[in-house]
Chains A and B, each alone.
Chain A
């Protein structure tokens, strides 16, 4: 199986910094980054780093994983609504599946997403863990 090296390398800004885009014309921020604003179709779009805090919009625990994720089963995935608005699909970490709730505050951390075989590429990226609410 290919390790998709260039693809993972290309995604580093999104994966490590939660970098999306900001539209200079309509003010919309979105994740992941795009060349064209999905709201107003403007090409006047610049990089935008998200704060990494949000709330659980929905979640699920995976028992039948895609190939390459077997060793992590069961793991919990979620749609996280960032404080800035956009939804992000990610795994939850540092929490038992039964303790997860919709609207739970979470924050981004960088963790191992997967490894391609014993000596293969290790892919890191964002996951979200429970967070204390800001005072």
Chain B
């Protein structure tokens, strides 16, 4: 069945207060319901010039392995377990799947294995299917999900599987540090001895200087993530930490300590995506992808307009809010990319939740906790669930889906209706934002 993208008519921009009404519009006569409009959104009264009809996309199956040091499991086994888990959750068989997207950062360097599209397709029982690896440093998982979304939304594929996988523990720590640094600028950052941690340390030091903060002020990010991870059976560090533990943590790159950092880990997480109009044939609790966007910024921090503001994140969320017709006040929870505490702060500010320089203070006021203004890292985040780099973006999607499906157990938020995920490659160079909605 061939689906053709159609361009029709005029739809005016839906301001936020009309969000509910807009999404209650009946499907178009073409059998597709639609939400993605494109044009000049320059005011409430000025209509956009064109609307590209695309299909709505839903997540109908989720799967994940625990995040851990999986000495006994290979990359292909981790990926297979996540894919099979997602397909079983969706009740989808191999013949249902039209394409496979594998998000991964550095399997060649970590394990000596590239060509993951074909490899994972083969081992996951999807022989012959269209399959390709998507790389965007630690943003690979989110970028792969977006490729799956585009394929279904554009009508080229009906059912796709997306898996994020990373196997990091084959290498010793120093080697892993070097491999992670490939997300940065090899010629002008890494050759000067900068690790990925050191680059984030430069941001954190300057942020502390600008906003008159000390290291311990950042403790609420680690404390919140660990507290939430207690309820996540797949988390690597499901235990609480307190301020004294943050104070005494080992220094890695001044001022970043072990407890400001996310751990090296192995893991895989996957979803099954299909067009929203067929979602109910797979599951009774589909999760709608309301918005998907990816934006970029300079790879090297020294080339940024302002190193303390993530322009890439601001662009990425602006597009996502626009597509979904919502704003930060509509988002019930936010799974962000806390590879380091400073990244959590910068992400919250660039995404419109807090003013510049305020994220740490707001975290101290418990505004990122389950009862706060914007709960983050509800199942532990990168910090405590673990950060298998190329898989992380898919863990965010899977965990947000669990919240929206009401399956987050002890971590379940009441009234979780709209969730946002943000997966970052490098120190802000690739930013993938997704807004997901519970379909009831």
Residues of A within 8 A of B (CB): 7, 11, 14, 30-32, 38, 57-70, 72, 75, 77-79, 86-91, 97, 102, 113-114, 123, 125
Contact = CB atoms under 8 A, between A and B. Distances in A.
A60 B209 contact: no
Given A7-B187, A66-B193, 4 more contacts: A64-B177, A64-B253, A89-B199, A89-B301
Interface string B188-224: 1111111101110111011001000000000000000
Contact of B193 (A79, A97, A113): A113
| 3 cross-chain pairs, A with B, having the tightest CB-CB distances, nearest first | A60-B201, A87-B302, A58-B206
A50 B265 CA distance: 42
Interface in B247-278: 251-256
B192 A97 contact: no
25 contacts: A11-B191, A38-B303, A58-B202, A59-B202, A60-B202, A62-B197, A62-B253, A63-B252, A63-B254, A64-B252, A66-B178, A66-B181, A66-B194, A66-B195, A67-B177, A70-B174, A77-B192, A78-B202, A79-B301, A79-B307, A87-B302, A89-B202, A89-B300, A113-B192, A113-B193
B189 A66 contact: no
Classify chain B's interface size.
35 or more
B113 interface: no
B127 interface: no
A86 B252 contact: no
A63 B175 CA distance: 15
A75 B174 CA distance: 16
Contacts of A102: 205-206, 209
A66 B172 CA distance: 11
B173 interface: yes
Residue from the set B175, B181, B187, B190 with the largest chain A CB neighbour count within 10 Å: B187
B194 to A, nearest CB: 5
A61 B187 contact: no
Contacts of A113: 191-193
Contacts of A70: 174
B198 A79 contact: no
A127 to B, nearest CB: 8
Contacts of A75: 193
Given A77-B192, A113-B191, A113-B193, A97 B254 contact: yes
Contacts of A57: 206, 307
Interface in B221-255: 251-255
Nearest to B175: A67
A65 B175 CA distance: 10
A89 B307 CA distance: 12
B255 A64 contact: no
Given A60-B201, A70-B174, A77 B302 contact: no
Nearest to B200: A60
Nearest to B171: A67
Residue from the set B175, B209, B253 with the largest chain A CB neighbour count within 10 Å: B253
Contacts of A31: 302
Contacts of B187: 7, 11, 14, 32
Contacts of A7: 187
B309 to A, nearest CB: 14
B174 A67 contact: yes
Given A66-B178, A87-B302, A58 B193 contact: no
Contact of B195 (A58, A65, A86, A87): A65
B339 to A, nearest CB: 15
B367 to A, nearest CB: 26
A62 B191 contact: no
Contact of B188 (A62, A78, A89): A89
Contacts of B300: 89
Contact of B203 (A58, A61, A97): A58
B414 to A, nearest CB: 41
A74 B195 CA distance: 12
Contact of A89 (B189, B206, B209, B251): B189
A120 to B, nearest CB: 15
B173 A64 contact: yes
A114 B191 CA distance: 8
Residue from the set B181, B192, B256 with the largest chain A CB neighbour count within 10 Å: B192
A63 B277 CA distance: 54
B337 to A, nearest CB: 20
A89 B189 CA distance: 6
Given A63-B251, A64-B173, A66-B193, A58 B209 contact: yes
Contacts of B192: 77, 89-91, 113, 125
A131 B240 CA distance: 46
Contacts of A32: 187-188
Nearest to A34: B303
A77 B188 CA distance: 12
Given A65-B193, A75-B193, A86 B253 contact: no
Given A60-B253, A77-B194, A86-B302, A66 B188 contact: no
